[in-house]
């Protein structure tokens, strides 16, 4: 029997998955969460008849194990969808992904993209061969697709030029078509399945928050409203902001890595310096409940160019009709920012609404019944030239003290919900 004391910090999907896998094996653990509810980024909220996620959250599965786990948790509250997603560029909508769907773009843009792609064919696109993301993009897609989509979109999204990014985060996130696939999507409007997110799964009712809630119903010893304010390595003790503390033998932390430098005072100087090298973007998310019917059934749309201010918008009620009252729309729009590219938080919500109306996503006279802002500090960890070394040093130091830092922000990696749940499981593998 395992008798050591395991404490889990954070009840997002990673922490919940870790607790669920431990307790399933009969191993006891305690989970402490600073918010008053579980779910972290995967929460949903109900406001005046609309249900919003904190931001669009769709489930994609690469592993049978996770699909079965989610099915076990959600039972028949889970529906599979075929993606209906778009890109708005050069005054028109084309099917996502851009690199496989040029149909409908102005002829001069199509010509540049095709010529560049054909020239790039001889390069191959193995990411290890490219020193930065920009080189990979040019090598994989050629100069036209790079210029008209990949560079503007990724600059807008990551808030820094693709040349400053490495390509270590790719891992199938950006699919590369074959020439026949690209030609097919250029000659005619094609909605063929392509890429890792061609299908997605989503709860029938209750929004994505149904998933963490289903975990929580099956887990003991979840303590919400408990913010950790210190991790004392010498005494092996965590302290709560309200004053008391708790001893541990092992910690599984899902707290965002940059926060750890404030929680642990006794870190070596070299490790402390590594924290300063971590970079990330933040996401300002605006959810809207609109008095207007959306007849197009679109799931989400990307906006690669400077205007509108958001890089993506999506329609919750097209994931599940339960998320908005009949003949109403619930949607979200996301703006990316960082210390290198700031936004005016007093004005950005109005700017988003103005741009949504200009793009025709919200009708000029349609009433906005609900506005809900989610300002997500830690959006996407940025892989730049310092990323690998800094992350490795920090995680290595924590491991020396029996702290497994996991989850998207704990292990500081661009991860989906599926990967996050798997990481929570992996963090528990050593406990038998």
Under DSSP, is residue 322 helix (H, G, I), strand (E, B) or coil?
A: helix
Figure out which of the listed residues 81, 143, 376, 386 binds ligand FAD, where binding follows CB under 6 A. 376
Q: Measure the CA angle with vertex 426, ends 424 and 429; round to 5°.
A: 120
Q: Does 114 bind ligand FAD (CB under 6 A)?
A: no
Shortest Cβ 218–ligand FAD spacing (Å): 16
Find the part of the chain contacting ligand FAD (CB under 6 A) among 5-13, 75-83, 131-139, 388-396: 5-13
The nearer residue to ligand FAD, 253 or 329, going by C-beta atoms, is 253
Dihedral of the alpha carbons of 249, 254, 256, 257, in degrees to the nearest 10 = 50
List the interface residues with ligand FAD, window 45-64 (CB under 6 A).
Answer: 55-60
List Cβ neighbours of 72 (8 Å cut-off, separation of 6 or more).
Answer: none
**Residue 400 to residue 402: CA distance in whole angstroms:** 6
**Residue 221 to residue 94: CA distance in whole angstroms:** 49
The nearer residue to ligand FAD, 167 or 254, going by C-beta atoms, is 254
235 DSSP 8-state letter: T
Q: Strand pairing of 367-381 and 280-291?
A: antiparallel
Figure out which of the listed residues 407, 422, 427, 428 binds ligand FAD, where binding follows CB under 6 A. 407
Shortest Cβ 403–ligand FAD spacing (Å): 14
Find the part of the chain contacting ligand FAD (CB under 6 A) among 29-37, 80-88, 171-179, 365-373: 29-37
Q: Does 41 bind ligand FAD (CB under 6 A)?
A: yes
Q: Does 258 bind ligand FAD (CB under 6 A)?
A: no
Which segments of 83-152 are extended strands (E)?
Answer: 85-89, 92-95
- 319 strand-pairing partners: none
Q: Does 209 bind ligand FAD (CB under 6 A)?
A: no
What's the token pair of residue 91?
């005054």
Shortest Cβ 326–ligand FAD spacing (Å): 25
**Residue 96 to residue 195: CA distance in whole angstroms:** 10
Does 375 sit behind a cis peptide bond, omega within 30 degrees of 0 on the bond before it? no
Find the part of the chain contacting ligand FAD (CB under 6 A) among 7-15, 164-172, 265-273, 290-298: 7-15
Q: Does 417 bind ligand FAD (CB under 6 A)?
A: yes
Q: Does 415 bind ligand FAD (CB under 6 A)?
A: yes
**Residue 30 to residue 42: CA distance in whole angstroms:** 20
Figure out which of the listed residues 12, 142, 162, 289 binds ligand FAD, where binding follows CB under 6 A. 12
Under DSSP, is residue 411 helix (H, G, I), strand (E, B) or coil?
A: coil
Figure out which of the listed residues 379, 382, 405, 412 binds ligand FAD, where binding follows CB under 6 A. 379
Q: Does 283 bind ligand FAD (CB under 6 A)?
A: yes
Q: Does 35 bind ligand FAD (CB under 6 A)?
A: yes
Q: Which residue has tokens 């969460």?
A: 33
Q: What does the binding site for ligand FAD look like in residue numbers (CB under 6 A)?
A: 9-15, 32-35, 40-42, 55-60, 227-228, 254-255, 259, 283, 376, 379, 407-410, 415-418, 420
């Amino acid at each position: 029997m395992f008798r050591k004391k395991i404490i889990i910090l954070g009840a997002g999907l990673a922490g919940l998955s870790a607790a669920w896998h431990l307790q399933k094996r009969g191993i006891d653990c305690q989970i402490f969460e600073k918010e008053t509810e579980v779910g972290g980024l995967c929460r949903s909220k109900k406001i005046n008849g609309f249900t919003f996620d904190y931001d669009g959250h769709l489930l994609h599965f690469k592993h049978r194990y996770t699909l079965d786990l989610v099915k076990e948790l959600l039972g028949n509250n889970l529906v599979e969808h075929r993606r209906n997603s778009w890109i708005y560029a050069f005054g028109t909508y084309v099917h996502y992904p851009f690199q496989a769907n040029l149909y409908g773009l102005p002829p001069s843009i199509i010509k540049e993209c095709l010529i560049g792609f054909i020239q790039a064919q001889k390069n191959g696109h193995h990411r290890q061969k490219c020193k930065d993301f920009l080189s990979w993009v040019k090598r994989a897609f050629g100069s036209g697709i790079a210029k008209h989509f990949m560079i503007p979109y990724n600059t807008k999204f990551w808030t820094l030029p693709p040349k400053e990014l490495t390509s270590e985060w790719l891992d199938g996130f950006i699919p590369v078509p074959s020439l026949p696939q690209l030609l097919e999507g250029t000659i005619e409007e094609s909605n063929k399945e392509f890429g890792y997110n061609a299908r997605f799964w989503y709860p029938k009712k209750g929004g994505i928050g149904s998933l963490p809630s289903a975990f929580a119903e099956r887990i003991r010893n979840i303590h919400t409203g408990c913010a950790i304010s210190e991790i004392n390595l010498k005494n092996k003790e965590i302290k709560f902001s309200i004053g008391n503390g708790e001893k541990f033998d092992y910690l599984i932390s899902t707290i965002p890595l940059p926060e750890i430098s404030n929680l642990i005072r006794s870190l070596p100087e070299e490790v402390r310096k590594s924290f300063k090298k971590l970079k990330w973007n933040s996401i300002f998310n605006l959810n809207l409940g609109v008095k207007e019917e959306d007849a197009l059934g679109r799931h989400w749309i990307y906006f690669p160019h400077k205007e509108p201010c958001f890089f993506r918008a999506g329609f919750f009620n097209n994931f599940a009709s339960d998320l908005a009252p009949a003949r109403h729309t619930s949607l979200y729009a996301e703006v990316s920012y960082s210390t290198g590219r700031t936004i005016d938080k007093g004005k950005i919500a109005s700017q988003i609404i103005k741009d949504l109306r200009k793009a025709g996503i919200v009708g000029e006279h349609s009433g906005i019944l609900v506005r809900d802002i989610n300002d997500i500090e830690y959006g996407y960890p940025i892989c730049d030239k310092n990323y690998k070394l800094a992350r490795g040093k920090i995680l290595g130091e924590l491991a020396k003290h029996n702290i497994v830092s996991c989850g998207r922000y704990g292990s500081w990696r661009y991860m989906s919900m599926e990967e996050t749940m798997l990481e929570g499981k992996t963090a528990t593998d050593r406990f038998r």
